[in-house]
Amino acid sequence: QVRPVESGGGSAQTGGSLTLSCAASTGAYCVAWFRETPINRREGVAAISIDKGGKYYADSVRGRVIISRGADKETDVYLHMTTLNPEDTAVYYCAQTRLWRGGRCALTTNWYDEWGRGTQVTVSS
Distance of alpha carbon 38 from alpha carbon 36, whole angstroms? 7
- Residue 114 reports pLDDT greater than 80: yes
Q: Find the mean pLDDT for residues 112-121.
A: 97
CB atoms within 10 A of CB 97: 22
pLDDT of residue 2: 85
Predicted confidence (pLDDT) per residue in 64-76, tens digit: 999 999 999 999 9
Predicted confidence (pLDDT) per residue in 75-107, tens digit: 999 999 999 999 999 999 999 999 998 889 999
CB atoms within 10 A of CB 119: 22
Produce one character per residue of 31-42: b if its CB has 16 or more CB atoms within 10 Å, e if not. bbbbbeeeeeeb
